[in-house]
Amino acid sequence: MSTGAPPTLLSIREIGADLRAGRLSASELVEATLARIDETEPRLNAYITVTADHARRQAQAADDELAAGRDRGPLHGIPVALKDLVDTAGIPTTGGSGFLRGRIPTSDAAIVERLAEAGAVMPGKLNLHEFAFGTTSANPHFGAVRNPWNQERSPGGSSGGSAAAVAVGSASASIGSDTGGSIRIPAALCGVVGLMPTYGRVSRRGVLPLSWSLDHVGPLARSVEDAALVLNAIAGHDPRDPGSAARPAPDAAAELGRGLEGLVVGLPRDPLWMEVEEPVRAACEEAVEALRALGAAVREVELPLLAEMRRMERGRFHRALLAEAGAYHARRLRLNPEGYGDDVRLSLESVSRVPATTYINAQRMQRLLVQETRSVLSSVDVLVSPTTECTAPTIAEGDLRARLARLTAPYDVTGIPAISVPCGVDPLGLPIGLMIGARHFDEVTLCRVAHAYEQATPWHRRRPEL
């Protein structure tokens, strides 16, 4: 094989080289992945459903096609697991909810169709915070997902299973969703890469919604290149998703390996570096210096409207937009409130009481924040900040949504693409994430900067001992 690492921890490019050279088969890879699931699941609980037979059929088909000379591209034969709010025909999709435990969709989500066309293999459906409404993935119906670095700690959420599985090699990559940070938070807390594309870049058709104006779907992976390759497979216009952007999706990996000379990094100190714990701040400051050493210019930028809102509202603005979640769940919440976990029920009751005028004003403010962000990004190429204020809290601490999502949620509100990459560890050895944001639909530059930083530092090569 390409390296001494087990196949479950190889990069997508390394796996692809081995598959095409005959050193590894997709069937061998899927068996190794299923064995890794068996090995790690009793401790992590990252999966709700393991689709072993389905994965074996897909892997055999990939082997047959490659042997016949049909190459579907970088994901051909690669195990990509799905957050269990992505519809899969004939396979349960629960949303992490007791209500939907027996739900079996009759059609695939758009991203499942695209992954199948790319030849990817699906080993299973991943555990999450109930209905994606929280940051812990401590699911009352399917059990808590545990952080692979310390099993008493939270993996973050809502895509906690998606991050944990990638971190330990029970999937080569995974799909998550992000409404207030739900890809980037678990990526940061579990030491992997999480890429939230521009709003509208990836179709959400067939993905259970939380908030139609904030929901994004994207990949989690062990490297920026792997995340870019998965994004390439799932991105593109879908006329059956009203929020899908009717514009071409360029190759997100096109500029990987280019230097950072000529690029300008913006540091939004207020509010996206405020109230950050010292180990996180120190690691992210070192990351900024690494970007400077790679040739990027660094300057501080201001987001005064966002800063003012954060001081005045303390999260109420984002909660107003989540009134859309209250609308989606209104009937079920009215008829069977006890069917929800306590934390999600309380959150839904809270957003269900948002007055229409508050919601409308929040939408107006959202447009102003988009304008402010666009203006700032006209003078810099990317924005850089910590992904979260702190490292992984204990599961017993509960949902620290205000602390974990405060820095990530503005990017959902403005719709710009953002990525979290590992950038250090705290004194307990828990991972720290660096967040990079870019202009709308500029995932190429986003991945270029993230990859340059990643390759210049050792953090992405750390793996939990599990």
- 143, 136 Cβ separation under 8 angstroms: no
Distance, in Å, from the CA atom of 370 to the CA atom of 390, rounded to the nearest integer, reads 26
H or E element: which one contains 219? strand 216-221
Which one of 137, 154, 182, 203 is the catalytic residue? 182
With 0-12 CB in 10 A as exposed, 13-18 as middle and 19+ as buried, what is 401? buried
Structure tokens at 359: 């919601």
- 368, 109 Cβ separation under 8 angstroms: no
Which stretches within 49-159 are classed as H helix? 52-67, 110-117
Task: Give the up-direction half-sphere exposure of residue 282: CA atoms within 13 A in the CB hemisphere.
Answer: 9
Distance, in Å, from the CA atom of 203 to the CA atom of 110, rounded to the nearest integer, reads 6
Distance, in Å, from the CA atom of 424 to the CA atom of 188, rounded to the nearest integer, reads 10
Distance, in Å, from the CA atom of 12 to the CA atom of 253, rounded to the nearest integer, reads 13
Which one of 25, 27, 83, 177 is the catalytic residue? 83
- Cα 171 to chain center, whole Å? 14
Instruction: Examine the residue annotation and report whether 83 is marked as an active-site residue of this protein.
Output: yes
Using the Cα atoms of residue 43, residue 158, residue 128 and residue 447 in order, give the sign of their dihedral: negative
3-state helix, strand, coil in the chain (%, to 5): 45, 15, 40
Cα–Cα distance list, 374 to 36, 198, 199, 352 (Å): 44, 13, 14, 31
Instruction: Examine the residue annotation and report whether 158 is marked as an active-site residue of this protein.
Output: yes
Which one of 158, 170, 223, 385 is the catalytic residue? 158
Catalytic site positions: 83, 158, 182
